[in-house]
A = this chain, B = another copy of it.
Amino acid sequence: MTERIHATYWLETGVDPQLAADVIAGEQSSGTFVALRTETPELKARSGARVERLDVLDRADTPSLPGGIESKVYTRCALELSWPIENLGPSLPNLMSTIAGNLFELRQVSGLRLTGLRLPPSFARAYPGPAFGIDGTRRLAGVERGPLIGTIIKPSVGLSPDETAQQVKELVAGGIDFIKDDELQGDGSHCPFDERVRAVMRVVNEHADRTGKKAMVAFNITGDLDQMKRRHDLVLAEGGTCVMAVLNSIGLVGMHALRRHSQLPIHAHRAGWGYLSRSPELGWDYAPWQMIWRLAGADHLHVNGLRNKFSEPDDSVIAAARAVLAPVMPEAPMPAMPVFSSGQTGLQAADTFAAIGCADLIHTAGGGIFGHPGSVAAGVEALRESWVATIEGVPLERHAQRHPALAAALGFWR
């Protein structure tokens, strides 16, 4: 039996749902707007996409998106399509064109969102997935259990290399596990990449030599391919343990080429995710999207955070984190680490742990660490102790009685 690719969609249509499903399946395989004498029944049976499931969910009297065929009623459905692997082979770029190509603009569609993806094992043979994942990240960061306690250099841009290194110095002295560049920080003339890496790694290495603890710093190497490779090589040469790339900015081919070159974990930033997802009736759910990037090699994937400062609701954040922790496929789990950020403090630890059932994550806080009335070190300790309490099932207030840094943090976190 041939291997098949399965994708699920939330579909809204002003025409008969079965017709809309058939049009989408046809448009994304052997059909087109007009009947073709060359699309023989044999060809269609072999190469056509199949409507595997079509369940009506509800109806609306106005369309979610403009430009569709006008109707008095718009039917919303759960749709599952499948394609034979022979149409495209196990290729992530061609998978993109197939499952998310010219279908969102069909007139038979007034809303379409890609909600799920199931890939055959040949994709796992073609793409090795994350080179480090959870275990490799823990090993390099020296964090055996619990989350990596992390932060982001701020202001996002504007600091010089020395000012950046000064901030890193405070953070590593405070015992932080993980630091990242902001996604806006690349290789601008005011903070050139090479100088920044050298200045920061001098501080990180000095601290590691003295204490044995080397903080993982995700340097944003986003750029053209040769730039990314060269920047990766510099980070590696300077003793760094992580590189960061902005997925929507580099694209799938860039990510795959970086994965092949990289000897370090790839911290994958999702900047731009909003334009792919903010309209509930269009675009992408995080589950299928992150699966493609994990196959391409992402070790860490951003999932926002509970009670974040953006517009994403908590249930969406949790679904995203669970997707990152779920196996890509039974034959190839390819575990990656979810990264929680945005308005995070120790107050979100217990709910986050309860929702995802493990502490295999990176928890980054900015104000939640730097705002501590004691010191940056106390801010790091407070966030870490909130996770100790969470994993032990002890209420924060009780744990705080024996941990003054946490006690002081509870005041300003609230």
Contact = CB atoms under 8 A, between A and B. Distances in A.
B88 A43 contact: no
B33 A309 contact: yes
B273 A105 contact: yes
Contact of A47 (B67, B97, B157, B224): B157
Given A33-B343, A279-B279, A190 B253 contact: no
A184 B98 contact: yes
A249 B29 contact: no
Interface string A344-369: 00000000000000000000001100
Given A32-B154, A87-B190, A183-B102, A252 B254 contact: yes
A390 interface: no
A86 B159 CA distance: 12
Interface residues of A, number: 99
A342 to B, nearest CB: 8
A225 to B, nearest CB: 5
A74 interface: no
Given A155-B39, A159-B43, A189-B86, A278 B273 contact: no
Nearest to A246: B97
A333 B228 CA distance: 28
Contact of A105 (B253, B274, B280): B274
Given A155-B39, A251-B253, A282 B280 contact: no
Contacts of A38: 154-155, 159, 163, 167
Contact of A310 (B106, B254, B272): B106
Contacts of A48: 158
B225 A256 contact: yes
A271 interface: yes
A303 B249 CA distance: 22
A399 interface: no
Contacts of A252: 249-251, 254
Contacts of A92: 224
A226 to B, nearest CB: 8
Contacts of A184: 28-29, 87-88, 94, 97-98, 101
A225 B253 contact: yes
A280 B313 CA distance: 22
A1 interface: no
Interface string A82-119: 00011111011110111011111111010010000000
A276 B279 contact: no
A186 B309 contact: no
Interface in A255-311: 255-257, 269, 271-284, 309-311
Interface of A: 28-34, 36, 38-39, 43-44, 46-48, 65-68, 85-89, 91-94, 96-98, 100-107, 109, 112, 154-159, 163, 167, 183-184, 186-190, 222-225, 227-228, 246, 248-257, 269, 271-284, 309-313, 342-343, 366-367, 370-371
User: What are the 10 tightest A-B residue pairs by CB atom distance, in nearest-first order?
Assistant: A251-B251, A253-B254, A104-B274, A67-B311, A47-B158, A105-B274, A101-B271, A96-B249, A94-B186, A93-B249
28 contacts: A30-B158, A33-B342, A34-B366, A34-B367, A38-B155, A38-B163, A43-B155, A44-B158, A47-B157, A47-B158, A65-B311, A67-B311, A86-B190, A88-B157, A89-B186, A89-B189, A92-B224, A93-B223, A97-B183, A97-B246, A98-B184, A101-B272, A104-B278, A105-B273, A225-B256, A253-B257, A254-B257, A279-B282
